[in-house]
Each structure stands twice: as structure tokens, then as C-alpha cells.
Amino acid sequence: MTSLTLEPISHVSGTIHLPGSKSISNRALLLAALSEGETELSNLLVSDDVSHMLEALKQLGVNYSLSDGGTFCKVAGRGAAFSTDGLVELFLGNAGTAMRPLAAALALSPVDVRLTGEPRMEERPIGHLLDALRQLGADVSCEKNEGYPPLRIQGKALEGGRVTIDGSVSSQFLTAMLMAAPLVTGEVVIEIKGDLVSKPYIDITLALMKSFGVEVVNDHYKSFKIPAGQTYRSPGQFLVEGDASSASYFLAAAAIRGGEVTVTGIGENSLQGDTAFAQVLADMGAQVTMAADHIKVSRHGRLRGIDQDMNRIPDAAMTIATTALFADGPTTIRNIANWRVKETDRLAAMAAELRKVGATVDEGEDYLTIEPPTQLRHAEIETYNDHRIAMCFSLVALSDTPVTILDPGCTSKTFPTYFDEFARISER
């Protein structure tokens, strides 16, 4: 296995132009494919998760042209549901933002498909989404274990109606139902059962649907109505904003080391909930400036530990877990039970790796408390094929201790050039 040792970094400063958001890239590609008209997408993310969506759309007969660098894509919208001629197999890696939305859109299209993924994808639940699709009359079956991929979908046009969906494990199931709803002939009403997790991602979904011409009536995140007779329409051009989760590592570096770091491509009006990460750094004692097109972080005093519910920022919250190594006092990250069903069991994995560098960690069912050590230890960080573990543990080098990241290439899921960009703001 390859590894990367980061030597101690004494200073950080600079500006990072963020790659496009994963969440927005994959939503925009799917909606552009379903739309009437041609869409020009710019600042598209170039990463494994987006490649899986692009490849799947190609196999479904969607015509598009991608620029050499892969950040610009012209999509010829179908103006209709998908269709296939015989069985088509789509491999979706470990991309939740491809598997869940495509499963729903294909279940409501006249297709015969198999959706497969990496071994970890077969352990990531999708049952709540399948329950909701089956209430509409969809024909979706699990080939190995009930409630998990791989899936066989014999899709068909459906009428719509009222469905209940459990929102307590992943918001991506609701996102998938919302985005697929305009494919049915009648009205769809989706009622939420259980506490809806990762809520800000639903705002991204609703904003994207609106950009592509579909209105949703949101009754306080308890029920959503998608009135009948709406079709997706291309906005013509669509700019993907920078990835706010990817921004978290650079902003945290400035908070830890005290140099000034700016990220561009996101700002105070961004669609992504993960921009709230900057506020968490401010709560820990960092100085944060939010402008329309950038976020800037520096620090003058010391960082202090915090105790917060981070359900709204599940991805960026992992960056707080390693930032906590540099704060005075313990930090508790609460309401993150669904970390266990992501790229790996992130609660167990983060606890294990934080202990290796010397922290005292209490791993609860749905929380993590991190007490920083007086002296960090050099450790080999196991990354469990989880891009965010690799990225958030790079921050350990912002000390007098090196850190070794095993399998650093796993950042390709969302940020293939992460370590090059991190080196650009680092001075030794």
C-alpha cells in the first residue's frame, strides 16, 4: 500500500480555488440529463463520484461532451425519463449521490437495469428509499441482501400519489424521491417519518430542482408536494459552486496554524450547508470573514474545545474531529450516528485513528468526544478507503509531529488533487 508522510508544517497561507461541489455536480448532471434542452455545466468536479454518474448517464444513452480537463460539460437533455433496450448494468463505485438518485429516477423510467458498486456500497443501506419507491408501485429488488445494493430495477411509468419515507438514516433517500418525482404523471406527496438527518442537503436539492424549472412545496420539512404536470427545463448555463466540504480542510488549517487562508468559489450565499463549518471554527476561536465569493480564516488567540450538534454538517464535522487535537479542552461532536453508514464506520474509524496520535476519545453510539494530548505522536493513519479520513488527518502535520497517511490516493472519491493543494498553502 502506498503512503504519504507529511513533515511538520510551521506556517500556512494562501488562496485555494475550490473544485466544484460533489453534491451539486451529481445533482446537476442528473437533472440536465432529464431536462428539455441543452445545459452547459461549468466548474464540474473531476473525481470518482462524478465519473460514476457520467459513465452511468452515457450507458443510459445520454449524449454529452466533456472538456479536456473535465470541468465543463454540455449535456443534451432527454426531456423525458430514461429508457433502455435490454438489461444495462451500471457500476456506481461508492458514490451515494449516484446510487440513490439514479435508483429512484430509474425506478420511474421504462428501463431494465442493475445497479452495482464497490464492496462497501453493498453495506450501505438503501431500504428506506426502496420502501418509498415500492409504495408508488415500483419494481425494485435487492440481489444479495434486502435493503442493500446491488439492485435490479425493472422500471416503469407510474402515476404518483402519497408516500412516507424514513429520513433518519440518510437525507439522500428523500433527495432521490424529490428529484425523481416529476417523472410520474400525477402529483407526489412525500411525508417524512423519523427525524430528518443532514437537512441542508435537502435545501441543495430543492434549489437545484428550482434552477431546472420544478417547484416543490415544502411544509416545514415534514412533507413535500411536487405538483403534477412539471417537467425539468434546462437553465441553459449552470455554474457549480465550489465544494464547501473540501474547503473545510484549508479553513481548519488556518484556524490551527494561525496563518491567513482564503477559499474561493463559495461564500455567504452558497447553497451548501457545509459553509456553516466556518461558523464552527469561529465558535472555537478563529477569525472568519464570509464574503459573497470567498471565505477567509485566521486566528489570533487560542482555539477552545466545543460541544455541538453537527448533524447539519456531517462531512465537515470530521474536520472538527482533527481540529479538536489543537484546542484547549475537550470537543464533543453530537448527533452523528449516520457516520456509521458512510464510506466506513466513521465513528469507529475516527476514534481509532485519533487515539493513535495520542488523543483520549470517547466513542458513543452517536457522538465523539476528543481530548487533545499534551504531545501528538507520529502514527500511520489507516484510511479505510475513506477520502475524508485521509484529508482530515493531514491536519495533524500542522504541529511539530509528522503524520503518515496510508493509501492517500483514496481522496480521488471527491478530491484527487487534495495533497497538491494542501502543499500549496503549507510552509515547512
Ligand X SMILES: O=C(O)C1=C[C@@H](OP(=O)(O)O)[C@@H](O)[C@H](O)C1
Ligand Y SMILES: C=C(OP(=O)(O)O)C(=O)O
**For ligand X, what does the binding mask look like between residues 310 and 349, x meaning CB under 6 A?**
----xx----------------------x-----------
> Phi and psi of 380, rounded to 5°?
-90, 115
246 binds ligand X (CB under 6 A): no
96-107 vs 127-135: helix axis angle to the nearest 10? 20
Alpha helices in 345-397 (DSSP H): 346-356, 387-393
170 binding ligand X? (CB under 6 A): yes
Of the candidates 49, 166, 243, 315, the residue annotated as catalytic is 315
Compare residues 97 and 262 and give the one whose CB is closer to ligand Y. Answer: 97
Question: Which residues here bind ligand Y, judged by CB under 6 A?
Answer: 94-97, 315, 342, 388, 414
- 375 annotated as a binding-site residue: no
Name the segment binding ligand X (CB under 6 A); options: 5-13, 167-175, 235-243, 352-360: 167-175
What residues form DSSP beta bridges with 20?
242
CA distance 271 to 239: 12
* Cα gap 127→124, rounded to integer Å: 9
Task: Give Cβ neighbours of residue 25 (< 8 Å, ≥ 6 apart).
Answer: 41, 44, 45, 50, 53, 240
User: CB-wise, 78 or 342, nearer to ligand Y?
Assistant: 342
CB of 184 to ligand X, least distance (A): 21
CA distance to 41, 46, 162, 236, per residue, from 240 (Å): 7, 12, 32, 13
Q: Which of 47, 97, 248, 426 binds ligand X (CB under 6 A)?
A: 97
In the complex, least distance from residue 78 CB atom to ligand X, rounded to whole angstroms: 22
Is 407 noted as a catalytic residue in this protein?
no
Does residue 175 bind ligand X (CB under 6 A)? Answer: yes
CA proximity to 120, closest of 99, 141, 89: 99
SS3 304: strand
Minimum distance between the CB of residue 94 and ligand Y, rounded to whole angstroms? 6
311 labeled part of a ligand binding site: no
Q: Residue 414 touches which of ligand X, ligand Y, none (CB < 5 to 8 A by kind)?
A: ligand Y
Closest CA to 338 of 145, 173, 132: 173
> Which of helix, strand or coil describes residue 65?
strand
The grid cell for 182 is: 416529476
Determine whether the annotation assigns residue 420 to a binding site.
Answer: no
Nearer to ligand Y, 96 or 182 (CB): 96
337-354 burial, b at 16+ Cβ within 10 Å, e below that, comes to: bbbebbbbbbbebbbebb
SS3 percent helix, strand, coil of the chain, rounded to 5, is 35, 25, 40
Q: Which is nearer to ligand Y, 78 or 124 (CB)?
A: 124
95 binds, among ligand X, ligand Y, none (CB under 5 to 8 A by kind): ligand Y
Any binding-site annotation on 22?
yes
Shortest CB 349 distance to ligand Y, Å: 12
Q: How far is the CB of 182 from ligand X (least distance, A)?
A: 18
302 annotated as ligand-binding: no
Nearer to ligand X, 9 or 313 (CB): 313
Positions annotated as catalytic residues are 315
Binding residues (CB under 6 A) for ligand X: these are 23, 96-97, 170-172, 175, 197-198, 201, 314-315, 338
